[in-house]
Amino acid sequence: MPYLKLKDGVDLYYKDWNTTGSPTVTFSHGWPLNSDNFEAQMFFLASQGCRVVAHDRRGHGRSSQPWDGNDMDTYADDLHQLFEHLDLEDVMMVGHSTGGGEVARFCGRHGTSRVKKAVLISAVTPLMVQTANNPTGTPLSVFDSFREAMVKDRAQFFIDVPSGPFFGFNREGAEVSQGPIWSWWQQGMMCGFKSAYDCIKAFSETDLTGDLKRMNIPVMLLHGDDDQVVPIGPSAQAAVTIVPNGILKTYPGGPHALPNICSDEVNEDLLAFLKE
């Protein structure tokens, strides 16, 4: 399995499929998952001739579990080191949920010289938590409850999340599948405890407004209008007005887990945007 030794000694696991393919698409996963969660999109685009690259964020999946560095700045810096290591150019970056924040911070912090397009799926941008300047955000007490649930019984909490709001399985008439629930639980339990705990603050309290303004590339936002984790109003509908060149596609009835529940449609949207 390929690993990159980062400057601070962290081993970053990554997948690099169809290395001779073109163009290159990178994937940044959500909390507390890993690169496995994007395999439907990676397989589809690699089969279409693309090179696809995805990493397990520090503390997640098969990467090292450092005590420190579980924040958006470091996530973006780690990804930049991977870009340099693989000499990636003309990339379309794709990020889901927390990964969408990582993509925005990457562009804001390291520029877009290596990036030609970006796709933010169910992303946490521009800011999740409710503040005086973000009154429609999610109250801090909600994220405090996440941390409390983790400390009390992480294993059960990581069953409750995918069994309910993440996939929208708590909605009346939903077709519940145990496979995605077990996969989410497995990926979540692979994440380091401290890493998962700290990442809640990273994805909820990091203001990415300035980063969105610096995304001087075409940006497509995909978001479900029934996203119970990252409601569409203060996220995608706000973000599309901030990026200089953005388009928003709303998935009617779509949950937070668009890459999983709506994988075929997401795949086609990614391919179409890539070809534009």
- Per the CB < 8 A criterion, the answer to whether 25 and 274 are in contact is yes
Catalytic choice (97, 122, 204, 235): 97
Contacts of 25 (CB under 8 A, 6+ apart): 45, 50, 51, 52, 53, 91, 92, 93, 94, 270, 274
| Residue 97 annotated in active site | yes
227 in catalytic set: yes
* Given the residues 28, 35, 256, 269, the one annotated as active site: 256
Taking CA 184 as the corner, what is the angle to CA 203 and CA 154, rounded to the nearest 5 degrees? 70
Catalytic residue among 77, 78, 227, 269: 227
d(CA 32, CA 200) in angstroms, rounded, equals 9
Q: What burial class does residue 228 get, using C-beta atoms within 10 Å of its C-beta: 0-12 exposed, 13-18 middle, 19+ buried?
A: middle
Does the active-site annotation cover 264? no
What residues are labeled active site? 97, 227, 256
